[in-house]
Amino acid sequence: MFAPREIRVIVGEGYEARRQHLAAVMTACAEVSRYDTPEEAEAWTLAHALLDLEQSFVTFNRELLPALERGALSSEGILDTLHSIGEEFRHILYHIGDPQFFRYLQSDDARQDGAE
């Protein structure tokens, strides 16, 4: 697991090389490769999704949440920040739903299992 200071070093640096590496690692997993199509290997879709998720998490943790916590925003600034958080969440949901591998998370059973 990466420590927060390590995330700064890897986010945005060598995206394509990182995606290729992640895809190569995940291609070895039959449970990932079973979702391959003639157009695209699932490992590539997953690698892209994971790296984009990483960026959204960093943006939320490093920029958006701290902006709210500082308490120096106007009412309009708070609203703008909350909308930005919503857009990051939309991006996160897209990248959770895009790979076939994670589609089980959107099933009715998964929603009920997670409900309290």
How many independent structural domains does the chain possess? 1
Name every residue whose Cβ is closer than 8 Å to that of residue 11 and which is 6 or more positions away in sequence: 54, 55, 58
77: containing domain: 4-114
Whole-number pLDDT of residue 31: 97
Whole-number pLDDT of residue 60: 97
| DSSP letter, residue 64 | I
Q: Please report where in the chains the tokens 């990182």 appear, as a residue.
A: 18
d(CA 55, CA 67): 17
HSE-CB at 58 with a 13 A cutoff on CA atoms is 17
For residues 55 and 11, the answer to whether their CB atoms sit within 8 Å is yes
Q: Please report where in the chains the tokens 């909350």 appear, as a residue.
A: 82
Asked whether the predicted pLDDT for residue 26 surpasses 70, the reply is yes
Question: Model confidence over 51-85: pLDDT tens digits?
Answer: 999 999 999 999 999 999 999 999 999 999 999 99
Give the three-class secondary structure for 116.
Answer: coil
